[in-house]
């Protein structure tokens, strides 16, 4: 399993009016071989924070567990949750500390905290970019960006963000052979962390066909 990679992954993050949307497709590949059609690529880190992963499955899962533990410990000690930026800063320090043997990952971290909604992207050696609008990673990102740049609007309602993320992934999956086999969408607001039901995702995909 550790040799499986998400290098063909398409992930999407959108900053919306009162929250964020994080979405991925579900195909995992080893070279040209489709290793899994139900790979998990978006993980809940804290109550209102999630992370999407691309790269080595083993590296990604190790970092997810590390961040989940650190966020729980912080909450126990401080009696308040870590901010999105706090988790990103800690994660960046971990990544940059392994410069000579880097984790083979590309990550998006997003959520809602006392500062509002935010999304950050991180590279394998800890580089951080705060994404103010829409972001996509992976081999399908050029196709996804074509949709995102055409249809994204600042302060768009989060349900419209869900539809846009699905549309962008649907488009990428039609052209990128390494992306496919379903879509997972998470929306996060101050009211909660919600996984969009598969039936709703499928209805929206059929509307875009």
Instruction: Catalogue the active-site residues.
Output: 9
SS (H, E, C) the chain: CCCCECCCCCEEEEECCCEEEEEEECCEEECCEEEECCCCCEEEEECCEEEEEEEEHHHHHHHHHHHHHHHHHHHHHHCCCCCHHHHHHHHHHHHHCCCCCCCCEEEEEEEEECCEEEEEEECCCCCEEEECCEEEECCCHHHHHHHHHHHCCCCCCHHHHHHHHHHHHHHHHHHCCCCCCCEEEEEEECCEEEECCHHHHHHHHHHHC
Cβ pair 46, 29 in contact under 8 A: no
Sheet containing 116-122, strands listed edge to edge, beginning at the edge strand earlier in sequence: 42-46, 49-55, 105-113, 116-122, 128-131
């Amino acid at each position: 399993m550790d040799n499986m990679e998400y290098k063909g992954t398409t992930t999407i993050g959108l900053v919306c009016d009162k929250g964020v949307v994080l979405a991925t497709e579900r195909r995992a590949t080893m070279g040209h071989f489709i290793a899994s059609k139900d790979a998990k690529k978006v993980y809940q880190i804290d109550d209102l924070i999630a992370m999407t992963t691309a790269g080595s499955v083993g590296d990604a899962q190790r970092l997810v567990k590390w961040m989940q533990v650190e966020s729980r410990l912080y909450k126990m000690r401080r009696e308040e949750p870590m901010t999105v930026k706090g988790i990103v800063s800690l994660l960046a320090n971990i990544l940059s500390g392994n410069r000579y043997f880097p984790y083979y990952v590309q990550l998006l971290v997003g959520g809602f905290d006392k500062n509002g909604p935010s999304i950050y992207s991180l590279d394998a050696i800890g580089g951080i970019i705060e994404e103010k609008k829409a972001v996509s990673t992976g081999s399908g990102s050029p196709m996804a960006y074509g949709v995102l740049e055409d249809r994204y609007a600042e302060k768009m309602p989060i349900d419209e963000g869900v539809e846009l993320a699905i549309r962008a992934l649907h488009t990428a999956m039609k052209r990128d052979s390494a992306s496919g086999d379903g879509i997972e969408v998470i929306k996060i607001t101050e009211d909660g962390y919600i996984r969009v039901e598969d039936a709703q995702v499928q209805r929206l995909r059929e509307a875009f066909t």
